[in-house]
Amino acid sequence: MREEINTKSIYCYGEVLWDIFPEGARAGGAPFNVAYNLMRMGIDSHMISRVGNDKLGTDLMAQLKDWNISTEDSQIDNQHPTGTVIAHIDEHNEAHYDIIKPVAWDFIEFRKDYIEKTSNASAFVFGSLITRSETSKTTLFELLEIAKFKVFDINIRPPHYSVPVINELLHKADLVKMNKAELRLVLDFFEKNYVSEDDAVHFIQDKFDIKEVLVSKGSKGALYYDGDSKYDAPAVPVTIQDTVGSGDAFLAGFLSKRIMNENPVEVMKQATALGAFITSQKGACPSYDLNDFELFRKENEAK
> Among residues 199, 240, 7, 29, which one has the least CA distance to residue 126?
29
Domain boundaries, position 285: 15-293
Residue 116 lies in a domain: yes
Residue 2 lies in a domain: no
Count of structural domains, the chain: 1
Convert the pLDDT of each residue in 260-272 to its tens digit: 999 999 999 999 9
> Among residues 150, 162, 89, which one has the least CA distance to residue 119?
150
Domain CATH number, residue 132: 3.40.1190.20
Residue 110 lies in a domain: yes
Convert the pLDDT of each residue in 103-128 to its tens digit: 999 999 999 999 999 999 999 999 99
Mean pLDDT of the chain: 93
- CA distance linking residue 290 with residue 295, whole number of Å: 9
Convert the pLDDT of each residue in 204-253 to its tens digit: 999 999 999 999 998 899 999 999 999 999 999 888 887 888 999 999 99
Q: Which of 37-41, 91-95, 125-129 has the lowest mean pLDDT?
A: 91-95
Residue 234 lies in a domain: yes
